[in-house]
């Protein structure tokens, strides 16, 4: 919701949300939030910046399986006909795999690894490989991935990750500290984080930040047992910097404005890099 809000208001972009196996309540809540934020304008549909498509939990597996592809078709229309850059959300891509598995079972097909359908890779590829940029516009997709039992080697998430440029891992530990979004910068990865793509300054800043956070992670056991007083001056400085970085990586959300004591904010990348340096 925060990304949809920022894309619509700061960049004038359009978003498509595909809810695969969503609960009716969740879909209704999202719709009402978008109306309140002005992203959806019922009085003038042309001013709306988002399209929503849902396949609910109580619907047949075939319908749930097609929702992701339907959302993608909408995104292609905005890209090819309206010549717009599109943000495509799919929540949850695991339910797309799950629906495909149910369809396969109904057709009497023999299951493959861990009970998944033997056409898993083909079905995933048919969705993921269409998400692309053209001369007319681009589609950038953000997908929620449920990881069964936190097992990243499970065929469903593993097949999904093979198609993604970046993975953003949410941390229970950061959430327990009240840091939102609770993104773990050490476990999260991106193939785009290369000097030739993001530039030397961005790359070097990101590496120094990760080094500081990694060192802080290594020191946490010592801090828990002996306390900060037993650390060297250099390590104390590292801990202080890492804690500031953790807080700085959080963001007051526009969509959570009514819950916040501090004002919501949105920083440009150039300013963000300067602040870290």
Q: State whether 43 and 146 are in the same domain.
A: yes
Q: State whether 208 and 83 are in the same domain.
A: no
Q: State whether 66 and 203 are in the same domain.
A: no
Q: How many domains does the chain have?
A: 2
Place of tokens 């056991």: 221
Record the tokens describing residue 196, joined without a space: 């030739």
The reported pLDDT for the residue numbered 22 is 85
In degrees and rounded to multiples of 5, residue 249 shows phi and psi of -75, -10
Q: State whether 231 and 108 are in the same domain.
A: no
The reported pLDDT for the residue numbered 48 is 84
pTM, full prediction: 0.78
Domain enclosing residue 262, as ranges: 198-276
Beta strands 166-167; 189-190: pairing state: antiparallel
- Give the residue ranges of DSSP H helices in 18-92: 24-37, 61-80
Reference 210, options 193, 222, 225; nearest CA is: 193
Q: State whether 153 and 207 are in the same domain.
A: no
- For residue 154, the domain's CATH number is 3.40.50.300
> Which of the 8 DSSP states describes residue 46?
G
The reported pLDDT for the residue numbered 65 is 92
If the chain, 277 residues long, is cut into consecutive pieces of 10 residues, what is the mean pLDDT of each piece? Answer: 70 86 87 84 83 90 93 94 91 93 92 86 92 91 90 90 91 85 89 92 93 93 88 91 88 56 63 78
Rounded to whole angstroms, the Cα distance separating 56 from 131 reads 23
What burial letters (b/e) apply to 55-69, b meaning 16+ CB within 10 Å? bbeeeebeebbbbbb
Rounded to whole angstroms, the Cα distance separating 38 from 32 reads 10
Strand ordering across the sheet containing 50-56: 50-56, 14-22, 86-91, 139-143
- For residue 238, the domain's CATH number is 1.10.1140.10
Rounded to whole angstroms, the Cα distance separating 106 from 229 reads 63
In degrees and rounded to multiples of 5, residue 177 shows phi and psi of -85, -5
| 2 neighbors 255 (Cβ within 8 angstroms) | yes
The reported pLDDT for the residue numbered 258 is 47
Q: State whether 19 and 97 are in the same domain.
A: yes
The reported pLDDT for the residue numbered 211 is 95
| 239 neighbors 219 (Cβ within 8 angstroms) | yes
Reference 241, options 194, 272, 277; nearest CA is: 277
């Amino acid at each position: 919701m925060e990304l949809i809000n920022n894309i619509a208001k700061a960049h004038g972009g359009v978003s498509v949300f595909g809810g695969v196996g969503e609960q009716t309540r969740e879909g209704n809540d999202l719709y009402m939030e978008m109306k309140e934020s002005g992203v959806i304008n019922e009085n003038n549909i042309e001013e709306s910046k988002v399209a929503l498509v849902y396949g609910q939990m109580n619907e047949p597996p075939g319908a749930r399986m097609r929702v992701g592809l339907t959302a993608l078709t909408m995104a292609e229309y905005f890209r090819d006909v309206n010549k717009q850059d599109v943000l495509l959300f799919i929540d949850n891509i695991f339910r797309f795999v799950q629906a495909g598995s149910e369809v396969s079972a109904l057709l009497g097909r023999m299951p493959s690894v861990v009970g998944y359908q033997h056409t898993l890779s083909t079905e995933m590829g048919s969705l993921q490989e269409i998400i692309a940029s053209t001369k007319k516009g681009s589609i950038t997709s953000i997908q929620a991935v449920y990881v069964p039992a936190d097992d990243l080697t499970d065929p469903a998430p593993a097949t999904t990750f093979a198609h993604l440029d970046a993975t953003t891992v949410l941390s229970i530990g950061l959430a327990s500290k009240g840091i939102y979004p609770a993104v773990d910068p050490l476990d999260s990865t991106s193939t785009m984080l290369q000097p030739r793509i993001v530039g030397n300054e961005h790359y070097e800043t990101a590496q120094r930040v990760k080094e500081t956070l990694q060192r802080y992670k290594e020191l946490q056991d010592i801090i828990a047992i002996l306390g900060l007083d037993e650390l060297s001056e250099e390590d104390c400085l590292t801990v202080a910097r890492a804690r500031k970085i953790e807080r700085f990586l959080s963001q007051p959300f526009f969509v959570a404005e009514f819950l916040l004591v501090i004002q919501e904010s949105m920083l440009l990348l150039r300013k963000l890099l300067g602040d870290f340096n």
